[in-house]
Structure 1
Amino acid sequence: MSTKFTKENSLFLAWVVAVTATLGSLYFSEIMQYIPCKLCWIQRIFMYPLAILLGIATVKKDYKITGYVLSLTIPGGLVSLYHYLYEKTDWFHAASNFCGENPCDIEYINWFGFVTIPFLALVAFILITVAMIMLRRVQNRWN
């Protein structure tokens, strides 16, 4: 991918992913009435501000936002990965007592046998992270 394309489009593409993830989570909870568990709420805490921050950065062409975005996508992605592994394996069940009345291992969706809501969030966090790393590399070359 060219550096010009990356610089001109990475913020916008990351913003589209963040808005899609935000609207998707609201669709699942508000339209489909899926009750978010505590891990889902933590992922939302990391994702929702990205839709706003990346939107502002896209309009202002603020390419220096990568550090702020990565400070949200990396921990958010780790929570999503943990949640996905909690759903699909028995590795973390003994260590997780905090899910409360709405268990964190309920799979409201399970498309193709592996696509669950935490998986979708993980993919969104990864896509935004990759876009920001690419933008940062381009910025470092231009400075």
Structure 2
Amino acid sequence: MPDRASPPSDAPILAAFLIALGATLGALFIGEVMGQMPCVLCWYQRIAMFPLVPILAIGLWRQDAAVRFYALPLVLAGLAVAVWHSGLYAGLIPEGVTPCTENGPSCSDRTQMAVLGLPIPYLSLGAFGATALCLIFMKGKRP
């Protein structure tokens, strides 16, 4: 009989799915409902985050431990961009190396919307970091 105190084996993938879903819905709400245009680095992070929702949903539905190998490359790519974006926002990376152009919002603009008192680059960093931890520490057999 399984120990009731231990979480089910699909808890990390469920957590990763819920984080990706929340981040995706949050990004869509901020962009489409609130009308805040994303910067170039935000677009790159969206490219990495949005496909995670169906990938993790299918992995959760099929109870496939191998889903980490499909999702982790996207998560790590998004995490790398989020680290860069957060460094720009914090002033640790000079603005001269930012990919943002004059046609859109600045990647290090302090007037960008904050949610729960945290700027969007930090929220993205947290979402990608938490998703990466969930996928790295998933239990299950290797394919």
Same fold (TM over 0.5): yes
The answer for the alignment partner of 2:140 in structure 1 is: 139
CA change 1:47–1:111 in 2 (3 A) is closer
The answer for the alignment partner of 2:86 in structure 1 is: 84
When normalised by structure 2's length, the TM-score is 0.86
2:113 counterpart letter in structure 1: I
The answer for the alignment partner of 1:44 in structure 2 is: 46
The answer for the alignment partner of 1:109 in structure 2 is: 113
Shift >4 Å, 4+ stretches: none
Shift of 1:112: 7.5
2:135 counterpart letter in structure 1: M
**Aligned pairs (5 A) from 1:52-63:** 52-63=54-65
- Gaps (5+ residues) in structure 2? none
CA change 1:10–1:111 in 2 (3 A) is closer
Q: How many residues align?
A: 137
Is residue 91 of structure 2 the alignment partner of residue 122 of structure 1? no
1:69 counterpart letter in structure 2: A
SS in 1 for 2:95: coil
CA change 1:53–1:112 in 2 (3 A) is closer
Shift of 1:139: 2.4
CA change 1:121–1:6 in 2 (3 A) is farther
Query: In 2, Cα distance between the equivalents of 1:110 and 1:74?
Result: 24
Provide Cα deviations, 1:23-66, integer angstroms capped at 9, x if missing partner: 00001001110000110000000000001100111111111111
CA change 1:53–1:95 in 2 (3 A) is same
1:130 counterpart letter in structure 2: L
Match of 2:28 among 23, 26, 44: 26
Quick one: percent identity of the two aligned structures? 29
SS in 2 for 1:94: helix
